[in-house]
Chains A and B, each alone.
Chain A
């Protein structure tokens, strides 16, 4: 999520020797665990660090060591030679790695849609303003209507009849820094799709949408570089500071599952229409990495565990079980999902925005 999280900070996940010994007893021979190294988007760090996850890998003879890094960094700046797999948080980044490394296949074991977290009074306001709509069983954030307001530089206090949040600042979704963060890139994927009425796939289209989408970032001024930053502000500083924040659905679900009372009843999730999925895509670089991909894709226990971290899983039952068990108000299926642009297109647009700071 954050480019500056250096690759150097190896997070070594060592599986308990106990497990190995236990496994070894049945066959009578010394159980040998194979170490597999991966570089991953930092939002999956907690998952790989979880003891239950390590135990499942050990059962299959693997110790998985991971280094966290920003997804864009994994695709462009990281020396991948020392890794068995790369596991960025977005499909465009994975696509580039697969092409560069000529990987035969990829795995997309879990995903999380981009959402907008907000508060009840703001939902009321934006419903009147035609930005929030009741969708198919959940509330949506109409990106087209939002872009129209943002293009005019609309301030909160200019919304008619606004007594709930009459702030004298622009109506803008708080995002992370487009120069650093995957979630900001995903936001660009959404907004550029709407501004272009379709996936941006030519340089003409890029030029056409850039003024409108750049403004969404530049008008915010300073933005934080890690997705945790604005989401934490949303949770702790509340509506005054962060009335609308772009987040991964998994961040919100993870907090609810933890049950640490950080998510209060007036906090609401909106699904952008359209939205994109942050598709956590594993690119095997060597045979051992491929096994990790297979396990994440097919092992039911790993699927269940991933769902408790808020990820939607390849087998939707795992996520749906968590939704039911925790009584979450998130939709089982999201209908209005579009594809992000190709990696090169997305990078070029991000570069163009970065230059305007």
Chain B
């Protein structure tokens, strides 16, 4: 994993102009000769060394801007991608091609490499399950998961392709019909799917963070997760080796098509052709296989020994956007373990004006007001427990909601009303308020322990309360394992104390999200992938 993360970090730093506050999805500038501007999935970052060599060999350099699967499709469909990009490069074009407005903007694809989404477990666990001596199908995997014989982490299907592929794969396989999924078939296999997802103990908005969190939790017996569902390539590059389980009934494979947009200039077209030819040449293909653990895309290059299973059955993928969107919605509202989400929100005097407006909008967006595709998937889901804990000089009473599975509208409207009425005044007692949040969570966990629980901490300035970060740290250390392992996702905003927020994220196994150079809405939406 380390090897994969270094180039990723380097690219992000480069794109961000050496500041971590810039949105990695920002445009990469005007067209320039010898440059291909590419809107891409973030997992392509590990290809940077290969692309650096390609630039030397072909004179064509790639400028990346990263975005998620659904958001990327939306940018292509709306025509926004054409404004700043010549090509798109995601782990697959399948979702894009199902959106008619996006499909018609795609021109020549060049598949560069492939990697199936599979399950990785420690060797001992595989032996314990008896899967070392026989191949198992998704149905057996789902059954073992339902019986809590193992746990795993997986990315959010609406934010990241590996989770999306796993969801489609397991649903297709369990449906047992062998043909593509539609809404009726999804409903029919919902009980089995629910079993399978009951063992998912970790979610993430990106494959990279998922692997990091998995490794961090391996050190902590209370928070340990057995395995990961991820790309074969990611699992093969983990520092502690995992045994890969290739379901006998099939997988969904990413095939990484570097795809020109129809709007591209003739220079960009030529650049795309040159670069594709180079990347698909036998030597480069071999190098991609060796350094990124992805399978070659051209038949002339033989698979090397690390790919234990060669002829993988590919499961059928749904043929319409409505089937896919329905599957994702069902996953959120019915299949996955429900979330418990606590928002600790700064409503101090410094939030007056645009800032409190931004906060109202960010929360309102999550109640269904954001009608974009990505917005629809990031709304508060059916069965989710949402608690808002506004604070200023002290914490205000916690406002608790539970979104019903079937008719979410009335509760979402209540949350919206509360959000719209948030007002700003007073001081900024961050840590006593945050500490108070654990009282709420303790009660909720006692009543119902089986949920994904997480905390969002949004504040726009320095702590003015009497309790400081050190007090909080001591408090956090004293927490029982189930509360201590709850990740905190601090959101940097305004004059946030970035270093302290970083510490808070680190001690809780969370992650900092930056809203200083983009809207709070964008940050809140991104966090949804981790809740």
Contact = CB atoms under 8 A, between A and B. Distances in A.
Interface of A: 3-6, 8-10, 153, 155-156, 167-170, 172, 177, 217-226, 229, 232-233, 235-242, 260-262, 264, 357
B179 A225 contact: no
B219 interface: no
15 contacts: A4-B105, A4-B106, A6-B107, A9-B269, A10-B266, A168-B248, A219-B316, A221-B181, A222-B180, A223-B319, A224-B97, A232-B297, A236-B299, A240-B311, A241-B313
Residue of B173, B177, B180, B249 with most chain A CB atoms under a 10 A cut-off: B180
A261 B266 CA distance: 32
A168 B249 contact: yes
A331 to B, nearest CB: 25
B313 A240 contact: yes
A236 B177 contact: no
Nearest to A169: B178
Determine the main DSSP class of A at the interface with B.
loop
Interface stretch (B17-25, B108-116, B334-342, B344-352): B108-116
Nearest to B138: A168
A201 to B, nearest CB: 29
Nearest to B176: A168
Contact of B179 (A4, A5, A6, A220): A220
A225 B313 contact: no
B355 interface: no
Given A153-B178, A229-B109, A4 B104 contact: yes
A237 B105 contact: no
B188 to A, nearest CB: 15
Given A9-B107, A169-B316, A229-B109, A236 B176 contact: no
A341 to B, nearest CB: 24
A237 B314 contact: yes
A78 to B, nearest CB: 15
B103 interface: yes
B249 A170 contact: no
A178 to B, nearest CB: 10
Given A6-B107, A225-B97, A262-B300, 8 more contacts: A5-B108, A153-B179, A169-B179, A220-B179, A220-B316, A222-B317, A239-B311, A241-B314
A4 B103 contact: yes
Nearest to A119: B311
Interface of B: 94, 97-98, 103-109, 111, 114, 137, 173, 176-181, 248-250, 253, 255, 262, 266, 269, 296-300, 310-320
A9 B245 CA distance: 45
A4 B107 contact: yes
Contact of B107 (A5, A156, A169, A220): A5
A156 B311 CA distance: 15
Given A218-B319, A219-B179, A237 B114 contact: yes
Contacts of A357: 319-320
A219 B179 CA distance: 5
B296 A236 contact: yes
Residue of A170, A172, A237 with most chain B CB atoms under a 10 A cut-off: A237
Nearest to A172: B179
Contacts of A221: 179-181, 316-319
Contact of A240 (B312, B316, B319): B312
Contact of A220 (B106, B180, B320): B180
What 10 A-B pairs are tightest by C-beta distance, nearest first? A221-B180, A219-B179, A240-B311, A168-B249, A222-B317, A241-B314, A170-B178, A155-B178, A221-B316, A169-B178
B178 A237 contact: no
A180 to B, nearest CB: 8
Contacts of B262: 4-6, 8-9
A224 B114 CA distance: 16
Contacts of A242: 314
A45 to B, nearest CB: 11
B309 to A, nearest CB: 9
A62 B318 CA distance: 48
A235 B103 CA distance: 25
